[in-house]
Amino acid sequence: MSEIRYDGRVAIITGAGGGLGRGYALYLAARGAKVVVNDLGGGADGAGSGTRAADAVVGEIRAAGGEAIANYDSVATAQGGAAIVQTALDAFGTVDIVINNAGILRDGSIVKMPSANFDILIDVHLKGAFYVTQPAFRVMKEKGYGRVVYTASGAGVFGNFGQANYAAAKMGLVGLSSVTAIEGAKYNIRSNVITPIARTRLTEDLMGAMGEAFAPEYIVPMVAYLVSEECAYSHEIFNVGGGRYARVFIASAPGWQVPDGGVPSVEQVRDNLDAIYSDAGFRIPGSAAEA
């Protein structure tokens, strides 16, 4: 089998100053990609900023003979997203790949979470991914090629105590990717979601000793495939971590149809809950229209 390479491709990777983002940047650059290393340089909670993290990764890439440029803009504003994409255009002339990886954590139970902590998670994870992808999508559409990866989470798809803000933002990314995939299909733009389990600065305190089995290196090859020209998938979700790779999907079962087409009573709903709840014969809709 031939080696997967990214020669001539330009990749934007947000939050690439450490953890998973750094891993993606080094891997793609080693295989020929020109990389925009974006990182605000703040803390795990989103506070602060700096240039050191992004500069260090760019230094690693260049020392190994690759091409990269740093960007320090925040993804959390439309202006920041546009500036990140403009950095790619100014330095390398185009955009082929976007890996939406930037993220922060501000955990708390629903009853104790300040609204500001909810808002900022939406701004960084969900709006941030949109703000970067939208201008990049325009470039990809014009050239007829693009690969987009959104970083969601099992907390978003399945839920997790104390992470209402994080989960809401992450599940929003699933919907955003679905639309990106549908709107990009005829332009050879493919969009997919990963729900990674990895030891990073956001998770190391939560994972403890278990984190040793979930090194970021396990995530990189899957994402590298999803952003490759060979990628055959779009509109998909993949759970990745600790050497396990699996498809996650949202499906719809046949359910129960009101026999006469009228509006049912609450008792009719109650009496047909077995059929409504059953997952037998499920299908995976390709769009809301199909569902």
Alpha helices in 93-127 (DSSP H): 115-121
289's enclosing H/E stretch is none
CA distances for 229 relative to 4, 6, 89, 148, 177, angstroms: 8, 8, 20, 12, 18
Residue 166 is among the residues annotated as catalytic for this protein: yes
Residue 159: phi and psi, rounded to 5, are 95, 155
Distance CA(189)–CA(139), nearest Å, equals 11
Question: One of 145, 166, 245, 277 is an active-site residue; which one?
Answer: 166
Asked whether the CA dihedral 193, 158, 171, 277 is positive or negative, the reply is positive
Other beta carbons within 10 Å of 151: 23
Mapped onto helix, strand or coil, the DSSP state of residue 228 is coil
Nearest to 30 by CA among 81, 73, 67: 67
Spatial neighbors of 243 by CB under 8 A, at least 6 apart, are 218
The amino acid present at 54, given as its one-letter code, is A
- Residues with a known catalytic role: 166
